[in-house]
Amino acid sequence: MVETNRIEFKSQLTDDLDIEKEVISFLNYREGGIIYIGIEKDGHPIGVDNIDAAVLKIKDRIRQNVMPSPMGLFDVLVENIDGVDVIKIFLASGTEKPYYKTKYGMSTRGCYIRVGTAAEPMPTAMIEDLFSHRVRNSLRNIPSPRQKLTFRQLHIYYDSKGLVLNNAFEQTLDFLTDDGRYNYVAFLLADENNVSIKVAKYSGTERFDLISNNEYGYCSLLKATDLVLDKLNTENYIFTRKTEKFRVDTPMWDKLAVREAVINAIVHNDYTNEVAPKFEIFSDRLEITSYGTIPIGLTKDEFFSGVSIPRNKELMRVFRDVEMVEALGSGMPVILRKYGREAYEFSEHFIHLVMPANENVPKNVPKNVPKNEPKNEPKNDTKNDTKNDTKKRRELIVNLIKRDNNISIAEIAKKVGVKPLTIKRELAEMRHIVQHVGPTRGGHWEFL
């Protein structure tokens, strides 16, 4: 390993503002970069003492000592290199340049830029130029069209990951404009909004003979994303082919690539013009269209290489908190590995992703019933289950109710993959944990 314009080595974490200087230089750099702590300048890994405490300290220092807020633009990870644990700080290029040390402000002592393999003070002329071109029309600065917002669904998602949102979460998650009003980030993640994501299905290869046109939205973008993923998972038929020695299961589209593509389209969509991404299912392909083209300052080669400039860093931060996104720049390699660059089409205002159906899948797909669903369900679909199967099913039921306490038994059964009668039986056994309050239609679930 060697230092480059995008890689910096530090042998240890010091108490001065040296690490903030490197972080700022990469945030201001058009390609972002990576800082390794626990690697000497010659590339020899030596590790980090008390590494968990060091990771927490780095996160706090970046949050407190760097402005504008870099939340959603960095990851701090532990990576094993040659048998030694080191710290890896992944930094995306920011959209609110220039970034600077809070202590010194927007000055030559506070602003840095990556030059070769070093972080150099930023000249005054560059500071003024970057500030004049700063993207001011970000979601954080756009007031929400509604100011009476609730965030019950957001709390459910955070609770499901063992995270607690305190009374100051609106400020922590950048849900407020400078004058203290709810912004468009808050609007997108609130329990109610006017954002609708469409999933259309056609019988053939053209945009006519529409079979279904589902809308998922008017709720937290987290919940809408889950609903879109569930719908596409249902439509991702699995075809089974038996050979002499084994059985081959083939889905229409690669499941992991679809998940990454859906989340990329939703998180990086340009919502400033109130245009949501859309998803279209054809007999031979899946098309995903998101509004907004490649971020300014990023080339197509950099886009495909995984260089990350999050369009909506506040959304990215929340999606990473609830583990819908693993790490910055992690989705693109998964998609390209399966479908290649040719799957992407760029227009003036949109990015189109076309995911062809697996060539081994028959083109005459049934319109309503997926191949992976048995035609005749057994009366008792859990007859041969083990105790572990039951435990996993009940854990899934609990997580589904945590995400949506208005979910119906029929919806739970569909997501779990069993009959509604099975869910009723499980919930009866779990009545000491969760109970339904109110009428069958219009009631809700409560945990005891």
Last residue of a domain, one of 81, 106, 132: 132
pLDDT at 167 exceeding the cut of 60: yes
Q: Do 180 and 107 fall within a single domain? A: no
The whole-angstrom separation of Cα 314 and Cα 273 is 17
pLDDT at 371 exceeding the cut of 50: no
Q: Do 355 and 260 fall within a single domain? A: yes
Q: Do 37 and 63 fall within a single domain? A: yes
Q: Do 196 and 291 fall within a single domain? A: yes
The whole-angstrom separation of Cα 400 and Cα 414 is 11
Q: Do 317 and 430 fall within a single domain? A: no
Closest CA to 320 of 263, 256, 405: 263
pLDDT at 47 exceeding the cut of 90: yes
Last residue of a domain, one of 132, 164, 197: 132
pLDDT at 378 exceeding the cut of 60: no
Q: Do 120 and 143 fall within a single domain? A: no
Closest CA to 288 of 309, 247, 259: 259
Share of the chain above pLDDT 70, in %: 86
pLDDT confidence tier of residue 135, bands split at 50, 70 and 90: low
Locate 322 and state its tokens: 């609830």
Range of the domain at 220: 136-371
Task: Please tell me the predicted confidence (pLDDT) of residue 372.
Answer: 45
Q: Do 59 and 155 fall within a single domain? A: no
The per-residue pLDDT for range 285-306, each reduced to its tens digit, is: 999 999 988 766 667 777 777 6
Alpha-carbon Rg for the chain in angstroms:
24
Strand ranges for 146-268 from DSSP E: 196-202, 210-217, 238-242, 247-251
Number of domains comprising the chain:
3
Last residue of a domain, one of 114, 132, 150: 132
CATH number at residue 250: 3.30.565.60
CATH number at residue 100: 3.30.950.30
| Whole-structure pTM value | 0.62
Task: Please tell me the predicted confidence (pLDDT) of residue 244.
Answer: 57
pLDDT at 257 exceeding the cut of 80: yes
Q: Do 239 and 203 fall within a single domain? A: yes
Task: Please tell me the predicted confidence (pLDDT) of residue 377.
Answer: 42
Q: Do 196 and 64 fall within a single domain? A: no
Residue 379 in domain: no
Residue 382 in domain: no
DSSP result, 389-419: HHHHHHHHHHHHHHH-TT--HHHHHHHHTS-
Average pLDDT over residues 151-160: 91
Residue 82 in domain: yes
The neighbouring-strand residues paired with 119 are: 114
Q: Do 303 and 270 fall within a single domain? A: yes
The residue that leads in pLDDT, 322 or 247, is 322
Q: Do 286 and 141 fall within a single domain? A: yes
CATH number at residue 393: 1.10.10.10
Count of C-beta atoms within a 10 Å radius of residue 222: 23
Q: Are strands 100-101 and 66-67 parallel, antiparallel or unpaired?
A: antiparallel
Residue 323 in domain: yes
Task: Please tell me the predicted confidence (pLDDT) of residue 381.
Answer: 55
CA dihedral 341, 343, 346, 351 (to 10 degrees): -120
Q: Phi first, then psi: what are they for 8, rounded to 5°?
A: -125, 135
Determine the residue type at 381.
D
The residue that leads in pLDDT, 314 or 247, is 314
Task: Please tell me the predicted confidence (pLDDT) of residue 442.
Answer: 66
List the helix and strand counts (H, then E) for the chain: 14, 18
Task: Please tell me the predicted confidence (pLDDT) of residue 301.
Answer: 77
Task: Please tell me the predicted confidence (pLDDT) of residue 373.
Answer: 42
Residue 376 in domain: no
The per-residue pLDDT for range 112-132, each reduced to its tens digit, is: 999 999 999 999 999 888 887
Residue 199 in domain: yes
Instruction: Give a three-class secondary structure readout of 341-361.
Output: HHHEEECCCEEEEEEECCCCC
| Strand, helix or coil for residue 24 | helix
pLDDT at 385 exceeding the cut of 70: no
HSE-CB for 377 with a 13 A CA cutoff: 12
Closest CA to 30 of 126, 171, 138: 126
The whole-angstrom separation of Cα 400 and Cα 153 is 12
pLDDT at 352 exceeding the cut of 60: yes
pLDDT confidence tier of residue 137, bands split at 50, 70 and 90: low
Residue 14 in domain: yes
Instruction: Give a three-class secondary structure readout of 419-439.
Output: CHHHHHHHHHHCCCCEEEECC
Count of C-beta atoms within a 10 Å radius of residue 104: 13
Average pLDDT over residues 403-414: 84
Q: At CB < 8 A and 24+ separation, what contacts does 364-368 make?
A: 364/283, 365/237, 365/252, 365/283, 366/237, 367/203, 367/211
Q: Do 196 and 125 fall within a single domain? A: no
Mean pLDDT rounded to a whole number for the chain:
85
| Strand, helix or coil for residue 119 | strand
Closest CA to 99 of 117, 73, 138: 73
The per-residue pLDDT for range 191-249, each reduced to its tens digit, is: 999 899 999 999 888 888 889 999 988 899 999 999 999 999 988 877 666 555 555 56
